[in-house]
Structure 1
Amino acid sequence: MLLVRHAVPAPLRPFVAVAHGYRAPALPTGLHRGLPSRHLTLVVELAAPLRVNGPGSAVAAHAVVGGLHTRAALIDATRPQDGLQYALTPLAASALLGLPAAELAERTVDLADVLGRAADRLVEDLAAAPGWAERFARLDAALLDRLCGDVAPVPPEVREAWRLVHGSGGRCRVEELAAHVGWSRRHLSERFRLATGLTPKQAARIARFEATRRLLLDPRRPPLAEVAVRCGYADQPHLAREWRALAGCSVGTWLREEFPFVQDSAPAEGAPSPA
């Protein structure tokens, strides 16, 4: 698999956490799992319509966007793929897509359902681009054109709770977060969900899951029992249950079927680092 990393222009950096282009062969299993993370996902697939089954209704389109989710998106990988993928912050939902992040939670949708005909023009424009640099330039320009000054503000209390959830690897209890920001647990959970699409408890699950995935990808991967302890699970069976719930398969299945795919995703030589 070829992975080309890209640094987006400064005005997009509050909204685009990571951007890359990819070119991937068909996978032997015919399936790629889009795992839950702290980012929304924008994909423009140029080789053929991207077929995604869940979260939410199945979709097949050249451009899709997915909100924050707590179970894997199952992506058809029976054919080669060629396109761009941008990991978006929750703030990007209102700033770039014109809708609250909560409306995209647990859903993957055709970008045309969000942007209308502009999504089709974007796919056509990227398909006609002569190379990676021009592809990135055209997608960046399209997003910058949508960037407006009327972004719905996120309360500082929610920003702080989000920072603590992910800074602690999901180890902060909701009661502690609420006390820290000076809100009730109920009020924090509702405002957090409106801003991100997840409750603080769900976001903490995702943060622990991300920490687990980072350790599993480490060449010096420790035993699963140690991974469980380091990532805040009660024990290895607890980790196994959470991984299966969030990834849709066991840790062993993911390592056997997906790890070679992820491991081979080396950035192209000379490509810029992500923002």
Structure 2
Amino acid sequence: MASVAGWEVARPRRPGRVAGVSMAGFRACGPAPVDVRVVPHPAVSLALEFGDGPLVVDAATGRQRRGNLVAGFLHGAMRVRGERVECVQVRLSPVAAYTVLGTSPAELDHVVVTLDDLWGRPAARIREQLAEARSWPDRFALTEALFVRRLERGRSVDPEVAWAWRRIAGSRGRVRIDRLAVEVGWSRKRLWSRFRGQIGLPPKRAAKLVRFDHAVHRLAAGDDAARIAADGGYVDQSHLHRDVLEYSGVTPATVAGETWLAVDHIAWAGYPRGLRPAVTRAASSA
């Protein structure tokens, strides 16, 4: 387990069995309450909370939510805060989210909802099981088993839509959007309608969010903004500045120091190591 910026962070010891599903464990540590700004990410996020203190989310819409939460594709500022918070956070690719949640991510756009609203009693049951578990590996196993069951029973996105999403994500948002319909053999209208309904975003906006995600993580790692803009497909550095401001509400210089991004390289695979804040090792993985 690693400790950074008021959080102890645990990762599963082995890759998960479910494609498009990533997990990490978070435990608030230190005397001060946790209060961090959430940076938008191209995934649907679940917070399965089981600690003594409530997890509180102040959404961009002005609404406040507590407990087990589901956040759709964020656009703008959102804050997570609380004391004695413990949770398993799950990131779902939009392809997996469509099946696991039992609803389209389009229904969650700009919204944070409680898992109880979506799942009812099973949401309360997983909280009880996580609270009773004695270690992070046990909690990860419980969470994965729940998601495997839901994937086996849930509906899947169209193969053409899943392929289009993989093209967008694999290109880091730089794929030619106008070519996607041609490549899958559908009309533009059909692909855009199915993609929006099943993934939750229009293809162009999905690509923009993926591109933003890679750019801000490079900013957090200390890379030069001009180089990031050139490599990331932005017209120029001003274009990068506008996108960062639009999605995060702050400038590139400010977003580079966000705690949320500093934690990402520890909690999730595939991100560059941030330069700040400093990370220390914790002794226990329980």
2:9 to 3, 18, 22: 3
Q: Equivalent of 1:209, from 193, 212, 223?
A: 212
**Aligned-partner residue type, residue 64 of structure 1:** L
Q: CA deviation at 1:260?
A: 5.3
Q: CA deviation at 1:83?
A: 1.5
Give the match for residue 268 of structure 2.
Answer: none
List runs of 5+ in structure 2 lacking aligned partners.
1-6, 265-273
In structure 2, C-alpha distance between the alignment counterparts of 1:265 and 1:194, rounded to whole Å: 40
The count of corresponding residues between Structure 1 and Structure 2 is 264
Is residue 103 of structure 2 the alignment partner of residue 103 of structure 1?
no
Question: Which segments of 5 or more consecutive residues in structure 1 lack a partner in the other structure?
Answer: none
Note the aligned Cα RMSD (angstroms): 2.8
Partner of 1:43: 47
Aligned to 1:226: 227
User: Is the 1:243–1:249 contact (alpha carbons within 8 Å) kept by the matching residues of 2?
Assistant: yes
| CA–CA distance in structure 2, aligned partners of residues 190 and 162 of structure 1 | 14
Q: State the Cα distance separating 1:222 from its structure 2 match.
A: 3.0
Aligned counterparts of 2:32 and 2:86: Cα–Cα separation in 1: 17
Contact 1:57–1:108 at 8 Å: present in 2 too?
no
CA distance 1:138–1:153, shift in 2 (3 Å): closer
1:121: which partner in 2?
125
Q: 1:30 Cα shift?
A: 5.7
Local SS of the residue matching 1:148: helix
For 2:240 and 2:168, the matched residues in 1 are separated by: 18
1:158 to 1:94, Cα distance in 2 relative to 1, 3 A: closer
Structure 1 residue 270 displacement after superposition: 10
Of 91, 94, 107, the match for 1:90: 94
Match of 1:198 among 193, 196, 201: 201
Determine the C-alpha separation between the residues in 2 that align with 1:266 and 1:199: 40
The reply on whether 1:52 has 2:57 as its aligned counterpart is: yes
Q: Note if contact 1:129-1:135 (Cα within 8 Å) is conserved in structure 2.
A: yes
CA shift in 2, pair 1:136/1:260, >3 Å: closer
Q: CA deviation at 1:86?
A: 1.0
Q: Which amino acid aligns with 2:11?
A: R
Q: How does 1:61-72 map onto structure 2 within 5 Å?
A: 61-72=66-77
**CA 1:97–1:265: 2 relative to 1, 3 Å:** farther
Q: Secondary structure at the match of 1:91?
A: helix
Q: Which of the residues 79, 85, 100 maps onto 1:81?
A: 85
Q: What is the CA-CA distance between 1:69 and the residue it aligns to? A: 2.9
Structure 2 contact 229–240 (Cα < 8 Å) conserved: yes
5 Å-filtered alignment, 1:129-168, equals 129-149=133-153, 151-168=154-171
TM-score norm. by structure 1 comes to 0.83
- Contact map agreement 1:50 1:76 (CA 8 A) in 2: yes
Letter paired with 1:234: V
CA distance in 2, matches of 1:195, 1:76: 31
Match for 2:123: what amino acid? A
Partner of 2:185: 182
Query: Does the CA-based 8 Å contact 1:8-1:19 persist in structure 2?
Result: no
The aligned amino acid for 1:2 is E
Offset, 1:95: 2.6
Provide TM-score, normalisation by structure 2: 0.81
Deviation at 1:125, TM superposition (A): 2.0
